[in-house]
Chain A
């Protein structure tokens, strides 16, 4: 009798065999080993029997019994609207207050439209004056920042540096390098964990 090549099938090999993906070496062993063949056949039979177990259903009306004990939330979009509607029509007083507020809102809107149409020139003049004021304030701000900058003790050094293109280039390269290193460090620090964590609460 010829010796059977390789060792007997491991449980993982049996799994692979059941899934139809057994590696060549154990497959060769399986073809020549009666013990492994019998085991593989039996396990295949058991898996087939398990797969053919009958499907079972709970008693009729199962869904109704479950639904009787589950409160369905109101649709998200209608929740606030429904709540407001309920509050408005809760009493006569709340309805009257809501109607008064609505009338005030509509009235003030209509009033502002009418006034705007009748005073377009005044509105244009006010608009121009506001723009001029904003422009003036912006210039004052820019001049203030510039004079503060010039008065700094390191400004003279910076000016000398800027006068020499070689030094300026070197300083720029250093700054760029520091910036790139900072970005890379931040990316590493802010990287999300790759693995997700199971969350089922039961």
Chain B
């Protein structure tokens, strides 16, 4: 759904109020605003496109069904990211994931399934980098993120991919601020070591 002028400038809280008033279009607007960041976070957490899609659906269904209990003095984004992160962590706890495969889900059994679940690396916007180089760098960092501990992964994705402030991450992960900072520093450190070979080349 394209963003109509009616929605431009409306805060999440205002859209939530309209959803509570029973307007389906407001529900769809909330999905439109958050489907990509939520899906991206979940995909990078669980490394499986199909599973990320299921978890994203569950996240939205849970959030939208509980829209009456959402309290507007808190950020809607924090609320929905918290639900998504909890879904991913619960899943990872239930099933210990194999190491990342950029060629597709480690659970895919056929070449078609591998292709369907493969990570598509590309630039967010036009990049001055050569496509091959960008793909190599992008692939390397995706791969390195996939090898991080889930707690580090949540923190680093929320901080540097989603751009959430430390305080918000601490609140939505129910962690002390100092722990969040430590996780992010350690995650950056691990990524630095993982990408060292590319820098040397």
Contacts and interface: CB of A to CB of B under 8 A. Distances in A.
A is bound by B = yes
Interface of A: 11-12, 14-15, 39, 42-43, 45-47, 49-59, 62-63, 65-67, 69-78, 196, 198-202
Nearest to A196: B73
Given A42-B199, A54-B124, A58-B35, A66 B22 contact: no
B34 to A, nearest CB: 11
Given A53-B142, A63-B1, A63-B35, A58 B56 contact: yes
When A and B form their complex, which 9 residue pairs have the shortest distance between CB atoms, in order from nearest? A50-B160, A75-B22, A11-B185, A202-B86, A202-B83, A63-B31, A200-B82, A58-B39, A66-B60
A14 B163 CA distance: 17
B32 to A, nearest CB: 7
Interface of B: 1, 20-24, 27-28, 31-32, 35-37, 39-40, 43-44, 52-53, 56-57, 60-62, 64-66, 68-69, 71, 73-74, 78-79, 82-83, 85-87, 120-124, 127, 137-138, 141-142, 156-157, 160-161, 163, 171-172, 174, 181-182, 185, 188, 191-192, 195, 199
A43 B188 contact: yes
Contacts of A39: 192
A66 B142 contact: no
A47 B192 CA distance: 10
22 contacts: A39-B192, A46-B160, A50-B191, A51-B161, A52-B127, A53-B44, A54-B138, A55-B40, A62-B39, A67-B31, A70-B60, A70-B61, A70-B64, A70-B65, A72-B22, A73-B22, A75-B23, A76-B20, A198-B172, A200-B82, A202-B82, A202-B83
A66 B53 contact: no
B200 to A, nearest CB: 11
A198 B168 CA distance: 10
B201 to A, nearest CB: 14
A66 B74 contact: no
**Majority secondary structure, B binding face:** helix
Contact of B181 (A11, A51, A65, A70): A11
A63 B112 CA distance: 25
B16 to A, nearest CB: 13
Contacts of A45: 199
Contact of B35 (A15, A62, A73, A201): A62
Nearest to A59: B53
A200 B83 contact: yes
Contacts of B182: 11
A12 B184 CA distance: 11
A58 to B, nearest CB: 5
A70 B27 contact: yes
Contacts of B39: 56-58, 62
